[in-house]
Structure 1
């Protein structure tokens, strides 16, 4: 079974007829002819294992819940700014456990101003915060300061909305923790887990996302370049005559590129070779984002080599051909 992109099919149809005519029978003939003549240019559909499919299900749901928590947190921040700006100034993380506990108890400025130091300190203690007395005093001072407000009836309506958002965020926090345990359990049973975890910047959750989006069929990517192209970390070159442009790929798997860019950023502290490679790109005048993407592209190639040979990551082997590594 070959995977044919609709854009490929449309362009191939234009090779056979330029009139724009289209029919199901003609498309079926065109696709059959395309596979007969150009099968070496097409990619067979890969078959991932059941274990990898299970990792994909839980890893995607875990990330989706995190995205939903972020959206709910932004809605909460927007609501608080409209009628309770002191809460935005008092609490650093609106989706943290202590913040949600205090907002559930006092969702409006009047009740928040009546919170005692003991109540605030108890919430901070349950959230395992440090320097509790100083933080509790600072929060109480901000909540009791003068701020612009809304009429009482509008404040009551906003308070009801905030209670609902707080309940949603509490549930999302619980489910994110539960799904993280599922991700760790399923990923830990996969045969490639050891190789993926040996890569710099990849932990259990991030490694599970990379495995889920790449799949575990070792024949899916014929080369490191093919894996880099799918990951969208490699650039696209367009050359015509004397004109030549190199641009980033903007059509990509959002979940995969998010995990790979996070890995690249984390690897700057975990791998001297990665840090030296990144600094080399920055010294050439490359922007922060582009340098991080080039580092992610290099790390994808290293991961491909490790999976192909069945070996774990080795710092010396991965960066031997880069002269700056020895200096680093």
Structure 2
């Protein structure tokens, strides 16, 4: 067998190839792209025995996506995505000087796969439709996070020179009403000149159909209220910045809506979409995110516990001597964790079982976040069972064991 460590960068890869005894066979720096991958295949052909198979080549690399990784998988190699934190800790096993180099990191990755492959999960092949959902869902979520960052900046700006706008719109500055009015009146002077009729026109064009008069009066009252003013030059600068931020957020809203349609359409084509949509708290967008991050390879998770651990919702235990502490997993897939939190929160209002489970945890002293993580962890296990058995969610089946245990404990 051959073991390859691949320390990747944006435009090149440092490669180290070792054999089963740990002997270094080759070291190269290869360019990213077709030429580089062809040279890597040539190195493999030079050192792999004549009766060797592509599956005899094990590759360790600190990423699980990208054209280079796809090319490695297409060649039939077994590829392991190594967490950079794990690689750093392994490097410390062999030296405490703190020395580091790309060549050395490539060798470390090769050694990890040679000695500890059993403790790492190889990259499995998701279906093409699952990969498409992943790209779309992650991009959609990233745009939402980008919008929130811009909203935070806008809120900070308004607080400095235009607090009346915060009084009118609160923290929901990405809302259509806020963007429509702030685009027309990005500063205090323009806001004070707005009339109720003008505000009604702006709200109507933005899409509001109900309570136009009432909402317009509320906005006018807030914008004309007394407030501390910044100096004229500073106020003009903030006004220009606010106008630019409003335009950026409005465009992000448009692109998020457009991408959401593509996410929903692509997710609907997946054969497991109906199972995901049957889960409490999951709609087309959250369902697409959960599918994208879990993948659809049926052999990726050995059991429900493995899926729960990957989700980051199951707790970790730290025990030493007489001290034992149960903590949340902070090192996890952020995209998946965000989606599962939202699912658990939504499930509280549509699933009696999830609500009862949450209330029970709260009664035992858990905080809101702790109880919500427990609900999310339980829902991941339920999802695993539904996918394994190709069955839709059933409220009674999902929670009857827990409810029976609660009743027995009460008795």
SS in 2 for 1:321: helix
Equivalent in the alignment of 1:237: 317
Equivalent in the alignment of 1:118: 197
Q: For 1:45 and 1:320, how far apart are their aligned partners in 2?
A: 35
Q: For 2:215 and 2:110, how far apart are their aligned partners in 1?
A: 72
Runs (5+) with no aligned partner, structure 2:
1-77
Residue 103 of structure 1 is aligned with which of 182, 187, 204? 182
The one-character-per-residue Cα deviations of 1:220-254 (angstroms, maximum 9, x if unpaired) are 11111111111111111233343322211110111
The one-character-per-residue Cα deviations of 1:234-288 (angstroms, maximum 9, x if unpaired) are 1112333433222111101111111001101100111111111111111111111
| C-alpha contact 1:319 1:325 (8 A) present in aligned 2 | no
Residue 253 of structure 2 is aligned with which of 169, 173, 187? 173
Task: Report matched runs for 1:181-220 at 5 Å.
Answer: 181-220=261-300
Q: Are residues 97 and 325 of structure 1, via their aligned partners in 2, closer, same or farther at CA, if it must alter by over 3 Å?
A: farther
> TM-score, with normalisation over the residues of structure 1?
0.90
- RMSD of aligned residue pairs (Cα, Å): 2.5
**In the TM superposition, what is the alpha-carbon distance from 1:152 to its structure 2 partner?**
2.3
The range that moved more, 229-238 or 93-102, is: 93-102
The one-character-per-residue Cα deviations of 1:176-220 (angstroms, maximum 9, x if unpaired) are 100110100110111111111100000000000101111111111
Runs (5+) with no aligned partner, structure 1:
none
Q: Are residues 27 and 133 of structure 1, via their aligned partners in 2, closer, same or farther at CA, if it must alter by over 3 Å?
A: closer
| C-alpha contact 2:90 2:108 (8 A) present in aligned 1 | no
Equivalent in the alignment of 1:72: 150
| C-alpha contact 2:386 2:392 (8 A) present in aligned 1 | yes
Q: What is the number of residues matched between the two proteins?
A: 323
| C-alpha contact 1:47 1:217 (8 A) present in aligned 2 | yes
Structure having the larger proportion of residues in helix: 1
- By relative contact order (CA 8 Å, sep 6+), the higher-ranking structure is 1
Q: Are residues 14 and 195 of structure 1, via their aligned partners in 2, closer, same or farther at CA, if it must alter by over 3 Å?
A: same
| C-alpha contact 1:232 1:249 (8 A) present in aligned 2 | yes
Q: For 2:292 and 2:236, how far apart are their aligned partners in 1?
A: 45
Residue 90 of structure 1 is aligned with which of 154, 158, 168? 168
Task: Report matched runs for 1:2-41 at 5 Å.
Answer: 3=80, 4-5=82-83, 27=108, 30-31=111-112, 33-34=114-115, 39-41=117-119
Answering whether residue 341 of structure 2 is matched by residue 293 of structure 1, we say: no
SS in 2 for 1:239: strand
Q: For 2:319 and 2:231, how far apart are their aligned partners in 1?
A: 63
Equivalent in the alignment of 2:240: 160
Q: Are residues 10 and 165 of structure 1, via their aligned partners in 2, closer, same or farther at CA, if it must alter by over 3 Å?
A: closer
Q: Are residues 89 and 265 of structure 1, via their aligned partners in 2, closer, same or farther at CA, if it must alter by over 3 Å?
A: same
The range that moved more, 17-26 or 135-144, is: 17-26
Equivalent in the alignment of 2:217: 137
Q: For 1:32 and 1:202, how far apart are their aligned partners in 2?
A: 37
**In the TM superposition, what is the alpha-carbon distance from 1:142 to its structure 2 partner?**
2.0
SS in 2 for 1:270: coil
Q: For 1:259 and 1:198, how far apart are their aligned partners in 2?
A: 16
| C-alpha contact 2:308 2:377 (8 A) present in aligned 1 | yes
Q: Are residues 211 and 28 of structure 1, via their aligned partners in 2, closer, same or farther at CA, if it must alter by over 3 Å?
A: closer
Q: Are residues 133 and 9 of structure 1, via their aligned partners in 2, closer, same or farther at CA, if it must alter by over 3 Å?
A: closer
SS in 2 for 1:45: coil
SS in 1 for 2:348: helix
SS in 2 for 1:218: coil
> TM-score, with normalisation over the residues of structure 2?
0.73
Q: For 1:179 and 1:287, how far apart are their aligned partners in 2?
A: 35
Answering whether residue 169 of structure 2 is matched by residue 54 of structure 1, we say: no
Q: Are residues 131 and 219 of structure 1, via their aligned partners in 2, closer, same or farther at CA, if it must alter by over 3 Å?
A: same
| C-alpha contact 1:272 1:325 (8 A) present in aligned 2 | no
The one-character-per-residue Cα deviations of 1:39-64 (angstroms, maximum 9, x if unpaired) are 54432221111111111111111111
